[in-house]
Structure 1
């Protein structure tokens, strides 16, 4: 009888270990899938940011006579939809102007003489973005020297 109880204990312990291993495996797979999804999403979002840049450039240089046209309003609406989409996915623009240069968020492309305190950002050349707090594209900026 003791032998049967001992074997039962061994089988139960083995089954419990196997169950725990399986649960850990499932959690590991879920993390892996989540990481892959984030990577794929990040790659797609970076490509969309290039489209947003193009819209911003088009709006920045639109002719004065078109500023109040229906076409310009439509282009602005499309850009706003892209901004809303990015925001809904956790993408946020990195603050630049009048901020202290931070190499984790900014890429300095030029240092210029300015009245601003040394190391302050005085011009944004290209917007930078973060996805859930992780920089996916640093802001390209000019800083004061």
Structure 2
């Protein structure tokens, strides 16, 4: 049998190699921990970015919905005096004068046609007579003592209010009851 010569290994060489490997392992473990923390942070950022995008989409959809719903608000507000004037013309017309009957009928039909047209787009007149006063939908022009109605009840409407798709665009000008003194 042939004899293999082995050189004696010095313990310091093995120790230094093991120590070097342990140091390398510790460095790699520290690097892994740092990278895992960075990855977790990036995951959090990605989750937040996705949530923010969803919120932006939702907000944009709501903004578009509101824009569609209330795009006519300025136009509708400009039409209100026309509706008021047509109503005033009918109220003040001399209905006893037969010669004016066709004109009054024409104005009345025009008013009804216009009211029907604007109602299709969500413009609705408010008639709060005998309803409780609501500062969001009514503007009190005066308060009058009244024993028949509950206090803060709308007694009369001086000018109609209007809402567009549920939003008040002009409050009704009203007279409100108050308890007798």
- How far residue 132 of structure 1 moved from its aligned partner, in angstroms, is 1.2
Q: Under a length normalisation based on structure 2, what TM-score does the superposition of the two structures give?
A: 0.61
Pick which of 25-34 and 63-72 moved more: 25-34
Tell me how many residue pairs correspond in the alignment. 128
Q: Cα RMSD over matched residues?
A: 2.6
> Taking structure 1 as reference, are residues 36 and 133 closer, same or farther at Cα in structure 2, changes over 3 Å only?
closer
Task: Check whether the contact 2:70–2:164 (CA below 8 A) recurs between aligned residues.
Answer: no
For structure 1, the residue ranges without an aligned partner over 5 or more in a row are: 1-16
- How far residue 86 of structure 1 moved from its aligned partner, in angstroms, is 1.2
Larger-gyration structure (1/2): 2
Larger RCO: 1 or 2 (CA < 8 Å, sep 6+): 1
Distance 1:27 1:117 in 2: 45
Distance 1:59 1:103 in 2: 29
Residue 131 in structure 1 maps to residue 164 in structure 2:
yes
Q: 1:48 aligns with which of 70, 75, 79?
A: 79
Pick which of 29-38 and 122-131 moved more: 29-38
Partner of residue 89, structure 1 = 121
Q: Under a length normalisation based on structure 1, what TM-score does the superposition of the two structures give?
A: 0.74
Distance 2:173 2:113 in 1: 24
Query: Runs of 4 or more off by more than 3 Å in structure 1?
Result: 23-40
Q: Secondary structure at the match of 1:97?
A: coil
Q: Secondary structure at the match of 1:57?
A: helix
For structure 2, the residue ranges without an aligned partner over 5 or more in a row are: 1-48
